[in-house]
């Protein structure tokens, strides 16, 4: 896969399975990418490399409107002649990561591995260094391959040429990633409990017995009398009290550390060979 470093980026992915390419296209539409910014080029049905390179050139011309180096366009055209299918999409920079995830999830071809496979079959790659991709922070950059070396001769009216030295610079960003989550939830359950309690009751007993004795003054006989006794009993009384028995604190501990990112960057060096004869210049 590759991108161009613009505010809108053009991504390309090769698929061996047309159904996978169609699924990727549907997922891109779900991201809100307009259908006019998505293009699917179907490859040859035979799925084998053609001997006549004119067929490959036809695919090359069909990809002429893609913003990519000719070497990469030639490589993708080769994939199309071998039966693979090319999906391209133009997205704003903030959707680059999400789009790359969609293309990867549907099984996009690893172009480095595929090129090595073709080279093992005798195919000659048009250039080297392409398809190198680096994800960083909130953007994606890709190197598009080394430029060809030009030899310029000065003569006639042309008495000045410029060789420009170029270099890549590493930019490292950062983004938040999920490491999992901890959820603490409280809920109410009811469970049966039991407790023993002693209960007391009082009952009225009436005993009648037959006697035969003379009445005395203490008997206080021949008058109305009423004796009233109340029966009592204890019954259980249930009361519940609520108490806090534990506290669970949920917080975040912040840890910061430094990490060294190692990568490679390229630069152009200039070598000057001066074989002029100082004696002849005097």
pLDDT tens for each residue of 43-65: 876 444 434 444 444 555 667 66
Other beta carbons within 10 Å of 24: 25
pLDDT in tens, 76-135: 888 888 888 988 888 888 888 888 888 888 888 888 888 888 888 888 766 544 444 433
Predicted TM-score (pTM) above 0.85: no
Query: What local confidence, expressed as pLDDT, does residue 198 receive?
Result: 92
pLDDT in tens, 197-221: 899 999 989 999 888 888 887 777 7
Domains of the chain, by residue range, sit at 8-143
pLDDT in tens, 222-281: 778 888 888 999 999 988 888 988 988 888 888 888 888 888 888 888 888 887 777 666
Q: What are phi and psi of 75, to 5 degrees?
A: -65, -45
Q: Extract the runs of DSSP E, i.e. beta strands, from 33-189.
A: 38-41, 85-92, 132-136, 139-143
Q: Which candidate, 18, 16, 23, places its Cα nearest to that of 111?
A: 16
- Compute the Cα dihedral for 13, 267, 64, 57 and give only its sign: negative
Query: What local confidence, expressed as pLDDT, does residue 127 receive?
Result: 59
Burial class (CB in 10 A: 0-12, 13-18, 19+), 200: exposed
> Per-residue confidence at 136, pLDDT binned at 50, 70, 90?
very low
Dihedral-angle region of residue 208 (phi above 0 means left; psi in -120 to 50 means alpha; beta otherwise) = beta
Query: What local confidence, expressed as pLDDT, does residue 232 receive?
Result: 92
pLDDT in tens, 174-201: 778 888 888 888 888 888 988 898 999 9
Burial class (CB in 10 A: 0-12, 13-18, 19+), 111: buried
């Amino acid at each position: 896969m590759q991108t161009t470093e613009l505010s809108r980026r053009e991504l390309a992915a090769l698929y061996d399975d047309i159904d996978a390419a169609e699924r990727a296209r549907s997922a891109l539409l779900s991201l809100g990418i307009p259908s006019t910014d998505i293009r699917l080029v179907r490859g040859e049905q035979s799925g084998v490399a053609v001997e006549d390179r004119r067929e490959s050139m036809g695919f090359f011309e069909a990809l002429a409107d893609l913003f990519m180096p000719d070497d990469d366009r030639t490589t993708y055209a080769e994939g199309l002649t071998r039966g693979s299918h090319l999906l391209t999409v133009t997205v704003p920079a903030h959707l680059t990561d999400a789009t790359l995830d969609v293309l990867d999830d549907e099984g996009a071809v690893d172009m480095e591995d595929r090129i090595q496979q073709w080279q093992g079959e005798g195919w000659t790659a048009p250039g080297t260094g392409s398809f190198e991709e680096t994800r960083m922070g909130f953007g994606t950059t890709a190197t598009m391959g080394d430029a060809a070396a030009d030899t310029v001769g000065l003569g006639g009216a042309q008495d000045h040429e410029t060789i420009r030295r170029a270099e890549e610079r590493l930019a490292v960003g950062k983004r938040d990633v999920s490491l999992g989550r901890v959820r603490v939830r409280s809920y109410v359950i009811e469970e049966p409990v039991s407790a023993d309690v002693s209960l007391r009751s009082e009952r009225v007993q009436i005993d009648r017995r037959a006697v035969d004795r003379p009445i005395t003054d203490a008997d206080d006989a021949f008058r109305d009398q009423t004796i009233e006794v109340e029966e009592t009993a204890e019954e259980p009384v249930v009361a519940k009290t609520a108490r806090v028995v534990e506290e669970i604190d949920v917080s975040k501990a912040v840890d910061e550390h430094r990490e060294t990112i190692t990568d490679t960057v390229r630069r152009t060096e200039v070598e000057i060979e001066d074989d002029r004869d100082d004696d002849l210049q005097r």
